[in-house]
Structure 1
Amino acid sequence: MKLITPTDHQLNDHHRDLFQQGAGVIATDGDLSAGLWFDHTPEYQGRKIGTIGGCEINEAAAGFLSDCADYLHREHQCQTVVGPMNGNTWQQHRLVLDSNGRDPFFMEPIEPAHFLETFRAAGFEELSSYSSSSVDLTATARDFASLEKRLQAASVTIRPIDPAKFESDLGAIFDLSLISFANNFLYTPLKKSSFVGKYMSAQDHIDPDLVLLVERDDDLVGFVFCMPDLFAVKQGKPPAIIVKTLAVLPERNLSGLGSLLVFKAQAIAKSKGYTEAIHALQYQSNSSRRISDRFDAKIFRQYALMAKTFTQIS
């Protein structure tokens, strides 16, 4: 196994991209390659994590993945090695566990089908599971009138993101995300400039009506971030929206706000001609999965993060 560093002179575009995402080295063996992360990675049960991502592997790569994990354990004292993950959960991670065969949606991380068995053959086991599901927007929706009335009494207002102050609204979304997601599985903070810059660059693909902000006394207390499935548009398929991110402050008097936000976003989407909502990449133990159940969401794809744990530090 050969290790490529950021200072090597002959880097291809894929290598440069992985180093920009924080990979410490890139491991190669013939046609096989993978980025290895060992700094600024999440912790798991108090253990240091190393991650393997950006994989270019085939069905016979179990030995290569095992060598990558051994390197992270031996040279960087990583007690748990997770993959596929490009460093943290803000970047590409997960492989497909099960699928009904539907085409990928916009920004969905779809790794080749052989990844699952290859990681398993290298000694990795399922660490966490996720799913994406579909909601039929042409069906009759539940009535959330009483919930909306209760939340209005709590002095909250709902508005779309403002294109005229898009950057500042994104900043408020980031600040709320730090609070709302702090206890999420394998959560690591992201620089505010990176978060805002990412969505500023995608502004042309975002319909402001489908990004709803909830404020109380001018402070953001919740949001839902949806965007069109651009793949469906290009492929001439029925229009769909992706319910990408949902966050609400963990306060008792805001109970039910997440369901109301999803309901309102989906109602707006339906009025614009969308026929489907994709509830994307939900952690199976997250409250958002329970919200999806309230809308009769049907799972079409399941994903996993895989992990290999070492019992002793080398």
Structure 2
Amino acid sequence: MTIAITETGPGRPDFHLFTDLPGRIYPPDSIRLKIPETIPTDFLRACFLVKDGGNVVARASIYDNPLMQYAGQRAFSVGNYECADRDEYASALLTHIMDSVKNWGGTYVIGPMNGSTWEGYRFLADHENPLFFTEPHHHLYYNQQFKDAGLAPIAQYYSNIDRGMELDNPEIVARAEELMAEGVTIRSIDLSDFEAEISRVYEFNLLAFKTNFLYTPISRETFLKKYLQTKAYINPDLTLLAEDKAGNLVGYFFCIHDFCNTQNKTLIVKTLARHPAPEWKGLGHVIGNLIYHKAVELGYTSAIHSFIYEQGTSTKLSTHFSGTHYRNYVLYGKHLA
């Protein structure tokens, strides 16, 4: 066995070896091979291949986001990770990555993360329930490979599923009446003016998400490109915007159909946000209740509240809508001495 590590990247003649690797380490019928893959290039510093003889057996990228910090330290991230089930391959790759980051002056590495929380990040911790749309798929042994390399969990996430779809909690109804009396309106996203709508969402996110764990802003161009691709999946009745009496955006719910579930009609609550000012407390529950009304009307029998950060504000919201545990996810990190 002769292990060698080489560098590649988008535009290089051998980059297809990087993008083709999943086809070598997953079964032909794996859902992983049915999920379109994009290698984000924002903040991309390097891509590495591990070869055993002439065969590519592992890959990963290093992202250098200048605004990414953890524990007060600038953090590089490990992304696009794929590896055959051999400890020596993972050890060689992750050691090389950490050595590279140290050589560049980095003191912390986190992963998996493709540059920022706007892109793919976190490992699934289990495969106990069926995969839902927008969820990543990978070998579960990746978790152990990261741990063996000295990376430890720095954040836990989970998804909840609500199979009750209960409507009109009295507290939520009362809060809705108060907000409506103050001039709040809640409407469907306008797909005929979608670019303008998501431009407003972009500006709002800068305010709503600025205190989120590991949040870093992205450019308007990148945001628009990313979300314009989602237009085909959106039912405007299930993506709602809340505006104050002056027409300012103060909250929204972005929901999509679970295209992976062919047995039951399930809604995915993908993104939700409200203005952080205290006068908008409870707005998320109000929008969620309206979403549930429409979803039930359309025949949905369950809703997945996806990718909740354990210390985030979505926890209370999902629990309020009777969410029960569906899956866990983990993000890892390591201080480089």
Q: TM-score, normalised by structure 1?
A: 0.92
Give the corresponding residue for 2:46. 25
Distance (Å, rounded) in 2 between the aligned partners of 1:19 and 1:213: 28
Distance (Å, rounded) in 2 between the aligned partners of 1:86 and 1:189: 14
Give the corresponding residue for 2:64. 38
Distance (Å, rounded) in 1 between the aligned partners of 2:289 and 2:131: 24
1:119 equivalent among 121, 146, 169: 146
One-letter amino acid of the counterpart of residue 107, structure 1: T
Over 6 Å off, 4+ runs: none
For structure 1, the 5+ residue unaligned runs are none
- 1:92: Cα distance to partner? 0.6
Indicate yes or no: 2:237 matched with 1:209: yes
Instruction: Count matched residues.
Output: 307
Asked whether the equivalents of residues 242 and 252 of structure 2 are also in contact (C-alpha less than 8 Å), the reply is yes
3-state DSSP class of the match of 2:240?
Answer: strand
- With 53-62 and 27-36 compared, the bigger mean Cα shift is at 53-62
- With 82-91 and 1-10 compared, the bigger mean Cα shift is at 1-10
Give the corresponding residue for 2:169. 142
Give the corresponding residue for 2:33. none
One-letter amino acid of the counterpart of residue 14, structure 2: Q
- With 66-75 and 273-282 compared, the bigger mean Cα shift is at 66-75
3-state DSSP class of the match of 2:134?
Answer: coil
User: Residues 19 and 201 from structure 1, CA distance in 2 versus in 1: closer, same or farther, beyond 3 angstroms?
Assistant: closer
Give the corresponding residue for 1:74. 102
2:303 equivalent among 277, 282, 291: 277
3-state DSSP class of the match of 2:125?
Answer: strand
- 1:70: Cα distance to partner? 2.3
Give the corresponding residue for 1:292. 318
Distance (Å, rounded) in 2 between the aligned partners of 1:17 and 1:134: 28
In percent, how many aligned pairs have the same letter?
Answer: 28
Q: How does 1:1-314 map to 2 (within 5 A)?
A: 1-6=5-10, 8-12=12-16, 14=19, 17-18=38-39, 20-30=41-51, 31-40=57-66, 42-59=68-85, 60=87, 61-99=89-127, 101-139=128-166, 142-143=169-170, 144-216=172-244, 217-232=246-261, 236-311=262-337
Distance (Å, rounded) in 1 between the aligned partners of 2:204 and 2:165: 32
Q: TM-score, normalised by structure 2?
A: 0.86
For structure 2, the 5+ residue unaligned runs are 21-36, 52-56
Distance (Å, rounded) in 2 between the aligned partners of 1:11 and 1:66: 19
3-state DSSP class of the match of 2:19?
Answer: helix
3-state DSSP class of the match of 1:230?
Answer: coil
